[in-house]
Amino acid sequence: MRERSGAALMLVLWLIVILGAICTEVVIATRSTTAVAANYRARAVARYAAESGVTVAVATLEDSLARAIDAGTRRDYLNHLGRALGTGDQLSLGDGRAAVALIDVGSRLDANTADAESLTTLFSFFTDPLEAANVAAAMRAFIGGDVDTLTPHPLKSLGELTLIPGVPRGLAERASEFLTVDGDGTINSATAPEPVLAAAGGELRDEPSRILVVSRGWLEGHPLTHEIQAVYAVVGSDLTLIRWREGDL
């Protein structure tokens, strides 16, 4: 009788252990599912906020250009993109937040289309002439296609500069704020800094021909951020989408 009672007790204890393990796994799985759902929501809100930032920026720009009373007013507005959105560069959308910045693409030298001489001139502002020439040659060989492969590798983002053999990371980072991959071959002489003007080899303009809208969105209190980079051509008072890049940061 005692043996049966002992066996029954052991069975009960084993059942308790098994049930405890199952409950633990259920709790862990529930927490994991909750975390996945929270991250999914954060990503969705972040993207929505970032896209809303682009939409608001484009609408503000087009409305302001349409209301410009003359060419001088238009140029003044376009050449001061840092203040073009007013308070519209910060958005609150429920729990979503967005921050928007506008960049005059014509104030930078296009890394994909600039020739070796122009690139050498630009890099000479940040290093010695010999290294500047070597880096420029390495870039042209990589982007335009070298004599061995003849395969061009146009850059899709400035972050890819550091992937080019022969381009030091430090130099790429210092020069990146003067470069773009979204140009149309023109330079805005009203906003381009000295290194870009010295290296400029294309047509000079007095206002932007392209604008890069950079919008970052996030869920308040969550670390995930979604960034959209949208390039627009300025055509009269309208903005025409040229390129769109996005991803989580």
Domain boundaries, the chain: 34-107+206-248, 111-182
The CATH label, of 3.30.1300.30, 3.40.50.620, 3.40.50.10800, 2.60.120.10, for the domain at 34-107+206-248 is: 3.30.1300.30
Whether residue 170 contacts residue 194, with contact meaning beta carbons closer than 8 Å, is answered with no
State how far the Cα of 176 lies from the Cα of 126, in Å rounded to an integer: 11
pLDDT digits 0-9 by tens, 128-187: 999 999 999 999 999 987 656 667 889 999 999 999 999 999 999 999 999 999 999 999
What are 219's strand-pairing partners? 96
pLDDT digits 0-9 by tens, 210-235: 999 999 999 999 999 999 999 999 99
Q: Is the pTM of this model over 0.85?
A: no
CATH of domain 111-182: 1.10.40.60
Please report, as a single letter, which amino acid is at residue 124: S
Contacts of 103 (CB under 8 A, 6+ apart): 81, 211, 212, 214
Q: Which region, left, alpha or beta, applies to residue 86 given φ > 0 means left and ψ of -120 to 50 means alpha? A: left
